[in-house]
Amino acid sequence: MEEIPTLPQDIIVEILIRLPLKILLKFRSVSKSWLSLLSDSQFHKTHINFSMNNPKFTDYTLAAVPTVSGLGKICHVYTIRSENSSVIVSKHECPSKTLSLSAWILGSCNGLICLTTDSFNLMLLNPCTGKFNVFPDLMIEYEVGDGGVHIRYGFGYDAYAEDYKVVKMFSFPRIGNEGRRHVNMVSVYSLKGNSWSSIQGFDSGYVNGNVGVFANGVLHWEGCYDYVLGGISSEIVTLDLAKERYGRIALPRYEGGGIHWTLGESRGRLVACCNYESNKADIWVMKEYGVEKTWTKLVTISSPDDGRVNISPLFVAENGDEVLVKLGTEVTLYNSRNASFKRIADYVSTDDFLQVQVATYLESLASPHS
């Protein structure tokens, strides 16, 4: 009997990275050799890189965790995919009960979600595989001035060191001759080293948002500067995880009036949303990272509600016609072709409602361990 020919390993890898993740999870049971291949960190990196560069083969997942008094945290998960340049969102069962136990979502990267827990620990979770890793949060002693201290986090991947990192920022307000500024102490947790270390801090304006947005190897926070003379200006404060270098990116030009910026990331691109007091918002995408002149306005959204709510960008269709946003306490798909809203996950605001957290992530086999 003739032996059945086998394909070369590189051809097998090229086939596997194009398959849906749920099939790859089943293939781990085919044989020991396939389990070894699908558990290999190099295969994980190849699969993630292919997914990032080929959105038609990639499903993103939306995890929404609302907190309601008396009910705790309830996990809602949706699969997001692009189909004929449109966004298709479908309900998906919660992949891990562990997600519903989290206190805060601190970010996502390469299919991993970083969360706090209820016991002064942090957690890296792959909701698709159900694997997670718990490690201690950083606790330090510091002197608090009149303005108190603001805590900010960030989570991302250092491609140079091949290491996932968590950033924790302690931001102390100071008032000087030029206006209000903040002194920021920064520490970084290395998953590979399983340890926290302090890095050089920096001065900035008020850093908005509890969580940094990760894109292109860099964490991003919106910074607001309140000057004694000249009013208020906003820009993006950045931290390159590989170089541990801070930077600034100018936000797009915007109309007059009181504004509040929110940041997001969609398929590797940085997205910024300018919220106006007039109950509308402009959504911009940076087409070429770091090149400020490539900021492109995709759409202007007018909120369907009477009350003013902030809009945060979550996912943008390939053609930019559809945008998935967090609209107050709702997750909504906005279609610019007919200015329509489709509510994806509606958390009715009641006296018992506390908060809602949302993160999008691509489905991967990435390990939450070093």
pLDDT at site 278: 74
Q: Record the tokens describing residue 142, joined without a space.
A: 């510091």
**Does residue 57 register a pLDDT over 80?**
no
Q: What's the whole-number average pLDDT of the chain?
A: 80
Q: 140 or 9, which is more confident?
A: 9
Distance CA 170, CA 149 (A): 6
Place of tokens 């990275």: 17
Contacts 24+ apart (CB under 8 A), 49-54: 50/17, 50/18, 51/17, 51/362, 51/363, 51/364, 52/267, 52/268, 52/362
Q: Record the tokens describing residue 266, joined without a space.
A: 């969609």
Distance CA 254, CA 189 (A): 36
| Reported confidence tier of residue 356, pLDDT bands at 50, 70, 90 | low
* 82-86, 131-135, 160-164, range with greatest mean pLDDT: 160-164
Q: Record the tokens describing residue 183, joined without a space.
A: 């002194």
pLDDT at site 163: 96
Are 359 and 109 spatial neighbours (Cβ–Cβ below 8 Å)?
no
Distance CA 87, CA 51 (A): 17
pLDDT at site 277: 78
pLDDT at site 202: 87
Residues 96-121 have pLDDT tens digits of 454 444 457 889 999 898 988 766 78
Domain boundaries, the chain: 9-53, 61-361
CATH class, 61-361 region = mainly beta
Are 217 and 228 spatial neighbours (Cβ–Cβ below 8 Å)?
no
pLDDT at site 346: 52
Q: In what order do the strands lie in the sheet with 121-125?
A: 105-109, 112-116, 121-125, 132-136
3-state class (DSSP) for residue 67: strand
Percentage of residues in the chain with pLDDT exceeding 70? 73
